Chains A and B, each alone.
Chain A
């Protein structure tokens, strides 16, 4: 019985019947109102189905060759790196570089002086201010052996002072008397410089941590402000859209009623 054959109905609906089957079913439809109605309704349902369209997203899948088996490029949202992240990275890199290099920039009447490293600590203050930094290092090399020790001792005192710690008694003794051997003084100098560098590294690390914390605090404040601003903007925009929508609806209704009249 053709009326009970769902396969025939579906085959007819999608035009996948053999020629003979289709001819037979056409003949049946000519005499069967129920089947005719069913086909009409199912065809209408198919027409309605065509209205279901998926959203149109921005797709840009690409397979790229990597270390692992090729992986598709991540969607845009996954690759997004906020600008503040770049800014934070730049600040940290600059802070670390400046701390490690011990950079000092001075403006003098005869130009700008940029010094790095420990050399600036040992140079006489008047020489630095005079902007003769470029000749300091050679001059130190040319100084006498006893002069070297005096400079080193002065540098040590400056370092100790700069670190805010009282110099060890042994160092003071070495500085005030010349009874210790040169080798002993050098050994102690190296030891103190080493200790000072270690403390300096710790201080740099702490400073970096402070910078990162400050930046994170600032970032959170900024994000909160931005979100607040966006919320206010959206509130305003939604209100305007609602007003425009109401206005357009009124216009549509007015136009329709005129057409009807």
Chain B
């Protein structure tokens, strides 16, 4: 039976490196995904994720379990992302390869999905990525934490150190901007129904 995060943290604090590496294995993908969606660049996301685990390991004895381990890790990652954005003075980008490779897409198709549907799905994903890159950092972060990491309003508020109402406002405004951007890009509300 797999150990819980809390159990692994306790073992890690006692000097068990394998336990910490189990935590790394468990959380490396979500942390990378978070960094990627905030920064928009694969290499930068990888570097930030790596640095996040390094910092977490160094500060592990200071972690008292007042929050979930994952929330603590998210906070470290978001701080690193924020530092990166300020240091680089860059806005996140929408990183997408040119053109559509039908051969590559064919491998992703579900049995019931036609090639056109598959291409459409990929194009929609790119449109979403571009729309998200247009958002201010605080709105984008709120949407990412809610949509892709399933945090509650309360958890997001604690993570971002802001009131609950601010989180909801950021989510509403961010979603509204994305909706508008997608509409301007020609993506209709029922684009996926066909």
Bound: A256/B192 CA distance, A:
19
Q: Which of A53, A64, A256 lies in contact with B125, CB distance below 8 A?
A: A53
Stretch of B3-11, B48-56, B65-73, B82-90 lying at the A interface: B48-56
Q: Which residue of B lies closest to A11 (CB)?
A: B168
Bound: A53/B147 CA distance, A:
12
Total A-B residue contacts, Cβ distance less than 8 Å: 120
| A245 and B178 contacting across the interface, CB-CB below 8 Å | no
B63 at the binding interface (Cβ < 8 Å): no
Q: Shortest distance in angstroms between B31's beta carbon and chain A's nearest beta carbon? A: 9
List B158-185 residues whose CB lies under 8 Å from chain A.
Answer: 165, 168-169, 171-173, 175-176, 178-179, 182
With contacts A42-B179, A241-B103 taken as known, whether A63 is within 8 angstroms of B147 at the C-beta atoms is: no
Bound: A10/B33 CA distance, A:
24
Number of interface residues of B (CB under 8 A): 52
Chain B 136-176 interface 0/1 with A at a Cβ cutoff of 8 Å (1 = within): 00000001001100001100000000000100110111011
Chain A interface size range? 35 or more
Q: Which residue of B lies closest to A251 (CB)?
A: B115
| B17 and A70 contacting across the interface, CB-CB below 8 Å | yes
Bound: A7/B179 CA distance, A:
17
With contacts A40-B189, A241-B103 taken as known, whether A10 is within 8 angstroms of B171 at the C-beta atoms is: yes
Known contacts A44-B190, A48-B178; 5 additional CB pairs below 8 A are A7-B169, A50-B147, A55-B42, A59-B29, A241-B101
With contacts A42-B179, A45-B178 taken as known, whether A61 is within 8 angstroms of B191 at the C-beta atoms is: no
| B36 and A55 contacting across the interface, CB-CB below 8 Å | yes
